[in-house]
Amino acid sequence: MNNSNSDNNPAIATKELTLNMGPQHPATHGVLRLVLDLNGETIVKCTPYVGYLHRGVEKLAENRNYMQILPLTDRLDYISAMSNNLGYCVAVEKLFDIELPERTEYIRTIVGELSRIVNHLLWLATHALDIGAMTVFLYCFREREKILDLFERLCGARLTVSYPRIGGLKNDVDAQWLEDLYAFTDEFPMRVEQYETLINKNRIWLRRTKGIGVISAEEAINWGLSGPTLRGSGVPYDVRKVTSYGVYDKVKWEVCTGKNGDIYDRYRVRMDEFGQSTSIIRQCIEQIPQGPIMADAPKFTLPAKDKVLTDMEHLIHHFVLITKGPQTAPEGELYVSTEVPKGELGFFFVSDGTGKPYRMRVRSPSFVHVSALPRLCEGEFVADIIANIGSIDIVLGECDR
Amino acid sequence: MTVNELIKKVFFIEILQGLALTLKHLFKPAVTIQYPAERKEPFAGSRGLHALVRDSGTGREKCVGCGLCAAMCPSQCIHIYTSEGDDHKKVVDRYEIEVLRCVYCAFCVEACPYGAIVLTDHFEYSGYSREEFYYTKERLLENWDKYMAGNKGKEYLERFWRPRAVDFATPAPAKKEERAKQ
């Protein structure tokens, strides 16, 4: 790409330099280690090493019953824990064949989209900070804090929410919460405009992002990219559109796509998703029906607490479910994916009919995106690595599991 | 490049717009709080340090040592040791929570068929050794007393902790013989 003088002049001996970036580099968004072979400023070869945050979630899941696995999924992608919880619950519900009440579907869609906003806010904040725009970082955290406060009011935790349950939710939302959320969605588009004022046309931002890390639509599909990273290349693929979970078929929204597949387009896709998510949340709040929040599936869901305290049958059932897990899980294999903010999160279960999964495999978007990183980086400058890592939006907790 | 674009480029219009925005924020009230000096109250229902409910009738813990919380705990940080007491009743000798391993999912609260364990909203606790984070039965009961003495205890009891089906705050019914005496 750049032919410096030393390359052409045989009198000056040059040698490729191997540089170790990470695993404790602040701009690698966690503990990602990249070994770079450099020719001057140009990257000849980039090798990612993952596994520094490996906690054995998949193995742990084999020793816990289906209910107990939920808090483990919080810690996959800790930035958008709510989406992971939802993805897990959706998968298990499909395994158990549980029909959800309508209100639950609406609430799940709302919190799922809130989680998407939280994730994209943190992504924008850190991505901009990596490239050098510090103000955006602080502004994004201001709004993120408001959503985290809403999460805390809803379920008692800000980050590791553990809010959904298999076949329902931990607790119902109250009217005041929905009103406050609606007020937030009134104000939020104005905030997004502010971020865009700061960086959208900023010449430094454009020079750092436009035409860098380009990946074509075909290649993006071949590399298995998903989510905004794929849509930035112009592929209108969104799991929310192609499979049915939540109430995404009942609200109006569209899939945001880019054109060129460079860092700027991936940035634009995520910025557009702010608007789509806000619109989905508003429509959901307007349409949300009254009703129960737990599915009528007594074999898989814990009985209501007041029944446990008064009725012997329910108490026995409560004991069995907690100590042994659901005893009537169907046998077989199942893969279910959902659209989390980072891409396609899939859960694969092998069930042997006991209360614990025989095997649980997590298909995490970050892991796939990291594998495509060498393709994005090679031939570019060292500084562009940071921008590329930011643009594929990885979290190593999910990548290493 | 049109003249318009050229002017925008030469006069750094987009950067000036950004600077104007930050300048505006300079005169707005700060959104941050100075933590140790200023504190934000956690929202009602926030999941923090555990407490064992003290039965106001017997003065002992409500816990009967069934072990459901320990079975449900995803991080397996609850340890319960029981023994046989007078008239063959189960007695909870030790009830320990390793708070450092806890993930605050509140599954123990959901599992408890007696409403005997709760999570308070106290989250600022620290110590110099691991032993300080082994919460024994006595310390957990102390947490409950401390929390109920505070101004938020009543509200939390009514809103979150009192099981809906039974009268939770009233003392346990007296035994048959005692009732006969009265």
pLDDT at A199 over 60: yes
Which numeric CATH code is attached to A57-97+99-296+330-400?
Answer: 1.10.645.10
Contacts of A135 in chain B (CB under 8 A): 18, 22
pLDDT at A5 over 70: no
Chain A residues bordering chain B (beta-carbon distance below 8 Å): 64, 67-72, 74, 135, 139, 142, 145, 149, 152-153, 155-157, 160, 162, 194, 197-203, 302, 305-310, 315, 318-319, 322-323
Positions of CATH 1.10.645.10 in chain A: 57-97+99-296+330-400
- The per-residue pLDDT for A279 is 92
Is residue B3 one of the residues assigned to a domain? no
Query: Phi, psi (5° rounding) for residue A195?
Result: -60, -40
pLDDT at B168 over 50: no
Contacts of B107 in chain A (CB under 8 A): 67-68, 71, 162
SS (H, E, C) B86-133: HHHCEEEEEEEEECCCCCCCCHHHHHCCCCCEEECCCCCCCCCCHHHH
pLDDT, one tens digit per residue, over A140-185 is 898 899 999 999 988 888 888 888 988 888 888 888 888 899 999 9
pLDDT at B170 over 60: no
Residue B55 to residues A22, A175, B68, B164, B172, Cα–Cα distance (Å):
54, 34, 19, 16, 7
- The per-residue pLDDT for A302 is 85
Confidence of residue A1 (pLDDT cuts 50, 70, 90): very low
- On average, the pLDDT of chain B sits at 81
- Calculate how close chain B gets to A295, using CA atoms only, in Å: 17
Closest residue in chain A to residue B167, using alpha carbons only: A309
Contacts of B105 in chain A (CB under 8 A): 70-71, 74, 160, 162
pLDDT at B166 over 70: no
Per-residue pLDDT, averaged over A125-137, amounts to: 86
Per-residue pLDDT, averaged over A24-32, amounts to: 78
Is residue B23 one of the residues assigned to a domain? no
**Which range, of A103-117, A291-305, A342-356, averages the lowest pLDDT?**
A291-305
3-state secondary structure of A198: helix
Contact: B74, A315; criterion CB under 8 Å: no
- The per-residue pLDDT for A78 is 87
Is residue B8 one of the residues assigned to a domain? no
What total number of domains does chain B contain? 1
Contacts of B29 in chain A (CB under 8 A): none
Contact: B72, A70; criterion CB under 8 Å: no
Is residue B153 one of the residues assigned to a domain? yes
CB A316 within 8 A of CB A130: no
Domain assignment of residue B98, given as a range: 50-164
Is residue B27 one of the residues assigned to a domain? no
- The per-residue pLDDT for A117 is 92
- Calculate how close chain B gets to A202, using CA atoms only, in Å: 6
Joined together, the tokens standing for residue A69 give 């696995």
Closest residue in chain A to residue B23, using alpha carbons only: A135
CB B94 within 8 A of CB B47: no
Is residue B30 one of the residues assigned to a domain? no
Cα A299 vs. chain centroid, distance in angstroms? 30
Residue at token pair 């602040």: A26
B14, B22, B68: residue with CB nearest A201? B14
Per-residue pLDDT, averaged over A21-35, amounts to: 81
Contact: A135, B113; criterion CB under 8 Å: no
Identify the CATH number of the domain in which residue B113 sits: 3.30.70.3270
